[in-house]
Amino acid sequence: MAKQLLGKEVTAALNERIKADVAGLAEKGIQPRLGIIRVGERPDDVSYERGATKRCETLGVEYEKFLLPADVTQEELMATLEKVNNDDKIHGILIFRPLPKHLDEAAVIKALKPEKDVDGITDGSMVGVFAGTKQGFPPCTPQACMEILDHYGIDCKGKKAVVVGRSLVVGKPAAMMLLQRHATVTICHTRTVDMPSVVKEAELVIVAAGRAGVVDDRYLSPGQIVVDVGINVNEEGKLCGDVDYAKAEPVVEAITPVPGGVGSVTTSVLVGHVVEAAKRTLE
């Protein structure tokens, strides 16, 4: 039976580190604060926002919401962002996306200051991920994958790693972060030929394909560590990952469950980034 890599254990350890950092900042008279910009009332956004604000509250991080109507103009949105960008009391900014279609999302991302980009969406943050420098912040989801590996003492050095998925928000940054940890990385995607044999060869597999159960026992082999990023709703209305858990679990050495794996770590990573952004203002 595979070992379960549980998000809640990782989150508990991460939260302790964040609380200690918040206490350290308080001694220096700094109160970390997140600015949340939300356009409209999309249920997914509202639900993620609720999780993030609750996590802020338990960790002693303040937040301020900037709520705009779904029909907000580009000018009004840009003016709000400029205000939050220039507010020294706000260290990190979360902007919910996708924005409604009438808005120019690229212009919004371009205007966001990388040092406040705690969600890792700016080009500046991407440069940080690719160059391995402290510019901006990595996207929270691949960072959550790394937190899980680190927490469970999984050393990536020299390991053959496969990332399934090449999105800019998960697959590509995850691959770069594994490379930073000295893994030998292969990225699989929809055009990969004979994906089962490529994935089977890996010692470490991160799956972010956005398709329920796309990776099953045909892709897996004994001894593998599997991190499942996927969040899907199956035919029975239940949450499930991109890995077919029932088929994978008897084969591999360790695996993250869905729910209860990567997803449960991301909000703590986000709040941790706000605290890190506040710490960087001292440097």
One-letter amino acid of 162: V
Q: Which residue number, 148 or 154, has a Cβ lying nearer to ligand NAD?
A: 148
Tokens 């989150």 identify what position?
Answer: 11
One-letter amino acid of 133: T
Shortest Cβ 82–ligand NAD spacing (Å)? 28
The number of beta carbons lying within 10 Å of the beta carbon of residue 88 is: 7
Shortest Cβ 263–ligand NAD spacing (Å)? 4
C-alpha span between 44 and 28 (Å, rounded): 36
For the chain, the straight-line distance linking the first and the last C-alpha, in angstroms and rounded, comes to: 47
Shortest Cβ 33–ligand NAD spacing (Å)? 23
Shortest Cβ 27–ligand NAD spacing (Å)? 32
Q: Which residue number, 78 or 239, has a Cβ lying nearer to ligand NAD?
A: 239
The number of beta carbons lying within 10 Å of the beta carbon of residue 82 is: 12
Shortest Cβ 183–ligand NAD spacing (Å)? 19
C-alpha span between 39 and 33 (Å, rounded): 20
Q: Which residue number, 101 or 191, has a Cβ lying nearer to ligand NAD?
A: 191
50 carries a ligand binding annotation? no
165 carries a ligand binding annotation? yes
Q: What residues make contact with ligand NAD under the rule CB under 6 A?
A: 141, 164-167, 169-171, 188-190, 195, 208-211, 214, 229-232, 242, 262-263, 266
3-state SS class at 59: helix
Strand arrangement of the beta sheet that strand 160-164 belongs to: 3-4, 254-255, 225-228, 204-207, 160-164, 184-188
CB 76 within 8 A of CB 93: no
Q: Which residue number, 199 or 278, has a Cβ lying nearer to ligand NAD?
A: 199
CB 198 within 8 A of CB 188: yes
**β-strand 239-240 against 204-207: which pairing, if any?**
unpaired
CB 226 within 8 A of CB 209: no
Q: Which residue number, 60 or 210, has a Cβ lying nearer to ligand NAD?
A: 210
3-state SS class at 4: strand
Q: Which residue number, 154 or 209, has a Cβ lying nearer to ligand NAD?
A: 209
C-alpha span between 97 and 122 (Å, rounded): 13
Q: Which residue number, 81 or 209, has a Cβ lying nearer to ligand NAD?
A: 209
C-alpha span between 74 and 50 (Å, rounded): 25
Shortest Cβ 194–ligand NAD spacing (Å)? 12
Binding-site residues, please? 165-167, 231
- Binding-site sequence positions for NADP(+): 165-167, 231
